[in-house]
Amino acid sequence: MKLHVWSNVDGYFLSRPERRSRLVELEFDPHDACRQCGERVLSVSTDNSNICPWCDSGANRPKILPYQEQEIIRLLKKQSDENKDWKSASRRVIANRATEKDVRDYLDVHGFYGSSARFISLELAAIERPGWVQVFNFHAHLKTRDGRWVVRYGICRTDERTSLFEVTLHEHKEGHSAALRTGTRAMITRDRRQQHWSMLPLLMLFLFVVGVASVGAILAPEPNRTLGGPRSTADVMSGTVAAPLNAQPAQP
């Protein structure tokens, strides 16, 4: 069976370690025998070899009953599924790390050494609601297949629905900026998001304040002061009050 586990320089981990790591998929055979004790491995060792966690840690292996084995394997699978979900969830939000890997894979088959690429930056530049389409912006030092180091500005466009993964590389920052502007038109970008998302609550607050103020003015006990004229309470009740109340929904 396949297990989704975390990997970093220290090895493989079932739950996410503190150190920066990425998710990988491993082939795991729950019936594999430990090379030291001969019992079932029942876990993923840090070097992905067939050694059980007890032999690996030097602890005495307890007697494990078949139903307990099944339970351990079930928990392994459960944790693996959680890891996998984390991956898909994070891809939807800000998938920089997953994207970095995808970009490396892309570079590998497009004339560079993907694993040697040094990313100076890689960030989400724009999304299209509800978030399927994302555009990433990156700046990296890349090693070409003939051994030269070059600097490239890149744009990476992904669409989760169609598994689209499109990368364009630019030698110059100007060309890259222009392409990024064109490519993210009508999307929510870092700059545009600022307006869209911060203005809306402000606008709503403003409307709310205006609404409360006008209702307050209307309901104020002294009509002379709030309405600014020497009118009788009867006038206010009949005409002036009705007008603003009716006008209320028409406000933007």
SS3 141: strand
Window contacting Zn ion (CB under 5 A); options: 36-44, 126-134, 211-219, 230-238: 36-44
Q: Is 121 in the site for Zn ion (CB under 5 A)?
A: no
Contact map string, positions 51 to 80, toward Zn ion, x by CB under 5 A: -x--x-------------------------
Judged by beta carbon, residue 24 or residue 64, the one nearer Zn ion is 64
Closest approach of Zn ion to the CB of residue 48, in Å: 15
SS3 38: coil
Closest approach of Zn ion to the CB of residue 63, in Å: 13
Judged by beta carbon, residue 3 or residue 34, the one nearer Zn ion is 34
Judged by beta carbon, residue 50 or residue 79, the one nearer Zn ion is 50
Alpha carbon separation from 179 to 14, 142, 189, 209 (Å, rounded): 41, 20, 14, 42
Closest approach of Zn ion to the CB of residue 58, in Å: 10
Token output for 120: 């100076």
Name which position in 23, 34, 107, 169 contacts Zn ion (CB under 5 A).
Answer: 34
Name which position in 1, 36, 105, 150 contacts Zn ion (CB under 5 A).
Answer: 36
Task: In whole angstroms, give the CA distance from residue 66 to residue 46.
Answer: 24
Contact map string, positions 95 to 114, toward Zn ion, x by CB under 5 A: --------------------
Judged by beta carbon, residue 36 or residue 121, the one nearer Zn ion is 36
Helix (H) or strand (E) holding 63: none
Alpha carbon separation from 196 to 22, 125, 135, 137, 191 (Å, rounded): 33, 15, 18, 21, 9
Segment 152 to 191, residues that bind Zn ion, using CB under 5 A: none
For residues 82 and 14, is the Cβ–Cβ distance under 8 A?
no
Closest approach of Zn ion to the CB of residue 72, in Å: 14
CB atoms within 10 A of CB 6: 21
Window contacting Zn ion (CB under 5 A); options: 48-56, 73-81, 128-136, 175-183: 48-56
Closest approach of Zn ion to the CB of residue 64, in Å: 11
Helix axes 96-108, 66-92, angle to 10 degrees: 80
Name which position in 14, 24, 26, 37 contacts Zn ion (CB under 5 A).
Answer: 37
Which residues are CB-neighbours of 231 under 8 A, at least 6 positions away?
Answer: 223, 224, 240
For residues 211 and 248, is the Cβ–Cβ distance under 8 A?
yes
CB atoms within 10 A of CB 129: 8
Alpha carbon separation from 40 to 44, 45, 61, 77, 233 (Å, rounded): 11, 12, 11, 16, 90
Contacts with Zn ion by CB under 5 A lie at 34, 36-37, 52, 55
